[in-house]
Structure 1
């Protein structure tokens, strides 16, 4: 099957499961479309409890168990789960040759900001308490999870704590002020993410009275100096393209080493469908090489 028909098949899958009304139904939809293709048979999974937060270890044969990818799933802070992102996370671990730790952080609107970021910090401290050296940890995430990754990195830096060796961001949502030009220019080609939906997610996550320029929710507006090397991967058919390109520019201006990849025709968080999509597998191979280089 050629590349164009591969991505068209994913678009058809998404169109067949339109976003429903209500958070419970939306969460079920993302779990369903994210888990259409199961985890590979050779992956070992292990559930773990982190101070009341559900999490999951995974490891592929031959991976170094002393090195870990800490991963935060996407879903606009309101949906997404270990299940929805299991195929992505486990194959990323394989590509990087590391074990992974996926986190089921608390979701909005039941748990609003800063609950998700607090859970991310708990997960980081769990890894450090478990004996993982900071230079053997990569932190990554897609969409909202990419924003959480950056917020965690800047929070650790501000605390004077050791930082992970690098960060990996897929289609990151970095600007809750919704000022990116591609929210308009890519609206007609993005099958998933639109400005009105992002505004609804931001309202649910933040509630009233939170400044949307706050760098903990809009890390595009953060002071980025001193962060570890970053890999940013984004599709050309995304309304959040400008969230990624502006982040790369801001990080580079702050003397952060940035690798920026824009994947032609790819949609939001396309590595989710790596089992069917060649570019999804290729993006994970590229991310794995980046992580291996730094870890």
Structure 2
């Protein structure tokens, strides 16, 4: 695969640090800043978008010309954005790239955002979106969940809620730089990677949790899936950057799932940061990560009794 030069990587990191140093004056300004930053990146052409309402939420089916309209397998994608930002527009290009790589339609949806809507609003909306797919006639074995950053947290939390409610689980899930502990913030990589992570920090993770819960500190175990009973989950793929403060949490999640008897593949990307896949238009590592995600989705979706090839 093609790889970025260290000069390119450091240049992008410096740009991300500069962006992060500009503190928005309001929630609306933060949302506008994220939307503008992602809109400035190169996007795939020929993206096909079908607006829908999923469980009362604004949503989009995103696909590409290589995706058959009759394809029964789908991806339900939960966007990141610190529970405060993110929309169909901000994540449309990532969804299109996942659709292109997997050959499956991707559903992105707008769960309720904080601070207007506090925990567990987003968790509830993600469950509702999954149940909506089932009501639409898509069977659980034809669904793969995905999400990045807090969207990765929401994906694993959705799996745990479905399992605990004895509801049908999806075929698999992929998590990109997921938050797995929004209670303690004590993993060693918060210190070890503090100087090299251009986006994350212990303080930003604490702020993320505080925005969602409306509290400086919470003790709800739903916010810490890494310490949950992780038995009985479908296969997981976790992609994370080596320079992330969340690296340790992702490693611990994969280890704990494997210890519980489950399947969890962890891929660590050298010199990468949180959700670098959103920058696939300028980062070849993002392109390769999405290619691997596409293969994972194809492998785990059972179509007419056979694995997709």
Decide: shared fold, TM above 0.5: yes
Separation in 1 of the partners of 2:142 and 2:288? Answer: 23
Give, in whole Å, the separation in 1 of the partners of 2:43 and 2:189: 33
Q: CA deviation at 1:211?
A: 4.0
Deviation at 1:213, TM superposition (A): 5.1
Give CA-to-partner distance per residue, 1:135-154, whole Å, 9 cap, x none. Answer: 11000100000000000001
Check conservation: 2:62, 2:92, Cα contact below 8 A.
Answer: no
Structure 2 residue 201 is matched with structure 1 residue 194: yes
Give the CA deviation at 1:86: 1.6
Query: Do 2:239 and 2:267's aligned partners in 1 also have CA atoms closer than 8 Å?
Result: yes
Tell me whether 39-48 or 283-292 shows the greater mean CA deviation: 39-48
Question: Which residue of structure 2 lines up, in the alignment, with residue 218 of structure 1?
Answer: 224
User: For residues 46 and 277 of structure 2, what CA distance do their matches in structure 1 show?
Assistant: 19
Structure-2 residue corresponding to 1:10 = 12
> Deviation at 1:2?
4.3
Q: Which runs of 5+ in 2 are unaligned?
A: 302-309
User: Which whole-Å deviations, capped at 9, do the CAs of 1:243-274 have from their partners, x for residues lacking one?
Assistant: 10010111111111111100000111100000
2:36 is aligned with 1:32:
yes
Conserved? CA contact 2:14–2:198, under 8 Å? no
Q: Of 54, 63, 67, which residue of structure 2 is paired with 1:50?
A: 54
| Conserved 8 A contact 2:210-2:216 | no
Cα gap change, 1:289/1:166 in structure 2, threshold over 3 Å: closer, same or farther?
Answer: same
Q: TM-score, normalised by structure 2?
A: 0.91
C-alpha distance in structure 2 between counterparts of 1:289 and 1:39, whole Å: 21
Query: What CA distance in whole angstroms lies between the structure 2 residues aligned with 1:262 and 1:256?
Result: 19
Across the aligned residues of Structure 1 and Structure 2, the Cα RMSD in angstroms comes to 1.7
Aligned residue among 178, 186, 192 for 1:185 = 192
Q: For residue 137 of structure 1, what is the aligned residue in structure 2?
A: 143
Q: Is the 8 A contact 2:210 2:217 kept in 1?
A: no
- Aligned to 1:140, the other structure's residue is in SS state strand
1:34-91 deviation per Cα after TM superposition (whole angstroms, max 9, x unaligned): 2222532221001111233111111112224311110011111111222222211110
1:93 is matched with: 99
Is the Cα contact below 8 Å between 1:3 and 1:278 reproduced in 2? no
Counterpart in 1 of 2:306?
none
Q: Is the 8 A contact 1:213 1:221 kept in 2?
A: no
Q: CA deviation at 1:103?
A: 1.4
Q: What is the TM-score of this pair, normalised by structure 1? A: 0.95
Instruction: Give the drift of 1:291.
Output: 1.0
Measure the CA separation in 2 of the matches of 1:265 and 1:209: 32
Aligned counterpart for 1:205 among listed residues 190, 208, 212: 212
Render the CA deviation track for 1:6-39: whole Å, top value 9, x for unaligned: 4234324323423423322211121122222253
Residues 155-182 of structure 1 deviation map (CA, whole Å, 9 limit, x = unaligned) = 1111111110001000000101212111
Does residue 20 in structure 1 map to residue 23 in structure 2? yes
Given that residues 37 and 87 in structure 1 are in contact (C-alpha distance below 8 angstroms), is that contact kept between their aligned partners in structure 2? no
Structure 2 CA distance for aligned equivalents of residues 203 and 16 of structure 1: 24
